[in-house]
């Protein structure tokens, strides 16, 4: 670890919340170990500048405005924005107006686990979120469990944070088609829009290619170049994202969810879900209860 440097002007209102979490014996075997979290009402002059700390921090903005400096990039952070940073690297964030309301989670990862790299891709991404994504709801769950000392709490907190990170990554990967039209060929935007509307059907790459009037080979190449995923990978990830919603928010059976998201066979769905989430749908639902 590099030399620790920390300079903090902790100017926050009295109703701000800062919670330290004491982990249970099982925490060392989990991919993520949450060590602190909070809900801050930052005031003018609030500023954090650090490096050399062996943890990550995820921060979401609820109101006001902040400024983030990380990896040579300076970004304005507003309501609806989130970011994740590696605190071993030099970083700075501060309140740039009269107030900046944030919720945050500080966590450690097991070796070879690196959500920050997966999301930021060695740069920095501002990650959009909304009430529809349940990001704040999951962070609130973490805050509510932070003062509990139990194996069950650690499992639920890890599951909640993993879900938040997956959702934020999804929001970067699954760009709304209105934005796609500005940044990639309309052909690919149309194909993505078609997937969003017909994912519950028996989609094939050949069918998608026909919809946008390309050969299968040309379509796959163009889609991969613009989206970073093959059409098949994109369909699979989109379906599993829908499945996670049904598992969390409904009592539908695994068989019913299988049909709703476009899989013909439940075993195929379970295998794909496990491949992308590293757990079965049943286990995922149990952790979310």
DSSP 195-226: HHHHTTS---HHHHHHHTT--HHHHHHHHHHH
Phi, psi of 158 (to 5 degrees): -65, -45
Instruction: Name the CATH architecture for the domain at 177-288.
Output: Orthogonal Bundle (1.10)
Pick from 40-49, 126-135, 236-245: least confident: 126-135
Q: For residues 93 and 66, give the distance between their C-alpha atoms in angstroms, rounded to a whole number.
A: 7
Instruction: Tell the CATH topology of 5-147.
Output: Jelly Rolls (2.60.120)
* Mean local confidence (pLDDT), 267-281: 90
pLDDT given at position 139: 96
How far is 217 from 284, CA to CA, in rounded Å? 36
The contacts of residue 236 (CB under 8 Å, 6+ apart) are: 272, 276
Q: Is the pLDDT of residue 218 over 60?
A: yes
Retrieve residue 82's tokens. Answer: 């989130």
Confidence of residue 281 (pLDDT cuts 50, 70, 90): very high
Q: What is the mean pLDDT of residues 153-166?
A: 91
What's the mean pLDDT when you consider all of the chain?
87
Span 228-242, average pLDDT: 87
15-47, pLDDT tens digit by residue?
999 999 888 777 778 888 899 999 999 999 999
Residue intervals in the chain for CATH 2.60.120.10? 5-147
Q: At residue 229, does pLDDT exceed 90? A: no
CATH 1.10.10.60 residue ranges of the chain are 177-288
pLDDT score for 173: 55
Predicted confidence band of residue 122 (pLDDT cuts 50, 70, 90): confident
- What b/e readout covers 51-87, taking b as 16+ CB neighbours within 10 angstroms? bebebbbbbbbeebbbbbebeeeebebeebbbbbbbb
Q: 266-277 vs 231-249: helix axis angle to the nearest 10? A: 90
* Distance (Å, whole) CA 15 – CA 39: 9
Q: What is the pLDDT of residue 183?
A: 41
Q: Which pLDDT band, with edges at 50, 70 and 90, does 172 fall under?
A: low
Q: Quote the percentage of the chain above a pLDDT of 90.
A: 49
The whole-model pTM stands at 0.61
Whether the pLDDT of residue 91 is over 80: the answer is: yes
pLDDT of residue 182: 45
């Amino acid at each position: 670890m590099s030399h620790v440097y920390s300079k903090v002007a902790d100017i926050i209102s009295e109703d701000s919340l800062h919670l330290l979490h004491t982990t249970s014996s099982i925490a060392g075997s989990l991919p993520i170990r949450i060590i602190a979290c909070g809900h801050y009402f930052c005031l003018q002059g609030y500023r954090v500048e650090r490096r050399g700390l062996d943890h990550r921090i995820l921060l979401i903005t609820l109101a006001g405005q902040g400024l983030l400096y990380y990896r040579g990039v300076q970004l304005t952070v507003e309501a609806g924005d989130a970011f994740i940073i590696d605190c071993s690297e030099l970083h700075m964030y501060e309140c740039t107006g009269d107030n900046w309301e944030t919720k945050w989670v500080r966590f450690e990862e097991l070796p070879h686990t690196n959500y920050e790299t997966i999301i930021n891709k060695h740069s920095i991404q501002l990650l959009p979120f909304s009430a529809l994504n349940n990001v704040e709801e999951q962070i609130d769950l973490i805050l509510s469990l932070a003062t509990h000392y139990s194996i069950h709490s650690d499992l639920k907190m890890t599951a909640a944070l993993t879900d938040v990170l997956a959702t934020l990554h999804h929001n970067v990967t699954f760009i709304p088609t209105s934005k796609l039209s500005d940044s990639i060929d309309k052909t690919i935007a149309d194909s993505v829009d078609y997937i969003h509307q017909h994912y519950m059907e028996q989609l094939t790459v050949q069918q998608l290619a026909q919809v946008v009037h390309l050969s299968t080979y040309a379509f796959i190449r163009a889609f991969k170049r613009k989206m970073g995923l093959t059409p098949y990978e994109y369909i699979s990830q989109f379906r599993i994202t829908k499945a996670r919603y049904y598992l969390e928010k409904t009592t539908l059976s695994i068989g019913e969810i299988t049909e709703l998201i476009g899989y013909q066979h439940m075993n195929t769905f379970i295998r794909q879900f496990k491949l992308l989430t590293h757990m079965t749908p049943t286990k995922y639902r149990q952790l979310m209860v």
